[in-house]
Amino acid sequence: MALHGLDRIDGEILDILQGQARTPNKEIAERVGIAPSTCLDRVRRLMEEGVLLGFRGEVSPQAMGANVQALVSVRLAGRDRAKTEAFSRWVLDLQEVVAIYYTAGPFDLILHVAVRDTEHLRNWSMDSLGSRAEVAHTETALLLHVERASHVPDYASRRNLKNAEDQREAELQDLEAQIQARQARAPERS
C-alpha cells in the first residue's frame, strides 16, 4: 500500500466514500472537480493499492439477535508465529467473532465478539477458548455501547501537509494533474 502517494483529490474521494459508501461515481466526480471516468480510475487505483478496502453494509448486531458484545483479551502460551496464525484463523471461523486485533502488551490478541446474552458469552468462552491448549489466559470486558467514527484519520494525503512550501508544491502538482485531466477530456481539434 502506497501511503505517501495520495493527493488532495484522493483524500477528498476517500472522505466522501467514508461518509457514504453508496455515493454515485458521478456525484463524487462533481464534488472533487474531475471527470467521472477519472474518478472511477482513481477509485479503482485506490482499491488495487489496498487503500480502499471495500464497501460494506453495517448491520445492527441487535437485529441479528446479538444483544451482548465484548472484548476478550487473549494471552497465548508461547510466542510461536505459526501457532498464533493458526489460532487466529480458527478464531475467525467462529460465528461469534466480529474482529480480531493483534496487540502489544500483556495480551497477544483482543477478540471482538457478539453473542445472544451473557450466558452465551460464558459458554462460548469456556467451551471454545477454554478448550484450546494454546490459550494461557483470557479477560473479558463487556461493551455497554459501541460507536464508530465515520472516518479513518488522514495522515497520508497531501491535504494535511504542515509545511507551507510543501503545501504549495502539492497544490501545483494537483493543478497540473487537473489540467492534464481536462486536456485528456477535451476533444481533439484539427
CATH code of 3-56+157-165+172-185, in short, is 1.10.10.10
* Residues lower than pLDDT 70 in the chain: 1-4, 157-168, 170-171, 186-190
Render pLDDT for 42-84 as a digit per residue (tens, 0 to 9): 999 999 999 999 888 888 899 999 999 999 999 999 878 898 9
Identify the CA nearest to 4 among candidates 161, 148, 127: 161
Query: What's residue 115's pLDDT?
Result: 97
Query: What's residue 1's pLDDT?
Result: 40
Neighbour count for residue 74 (Cβ, 10 Å): 23
For every residue of 15-55, DSSP letters joined together read: HHHHH-TT--HHHHHHHHTS-HHHHHHHHHHHHHTTSS---
Contact 30, 81 (CB under 8 A): no
Query: What's residue 80's pLDDT?
Result: 85
Q: What is the largest CA-CA distance in the chain?
A: 77
Domain chopping of the chain, boundaries: 3-56+157-165+172-185, 62-143
Give the pTM: 0.69
Does CATH place domain 62-143 in 3.40.50.300? no
Query: What's residue 162's pLDDT?
Result: 56
The cell for 71 is: 472484548
Contact 3, 156 (CB under 8 A): yes
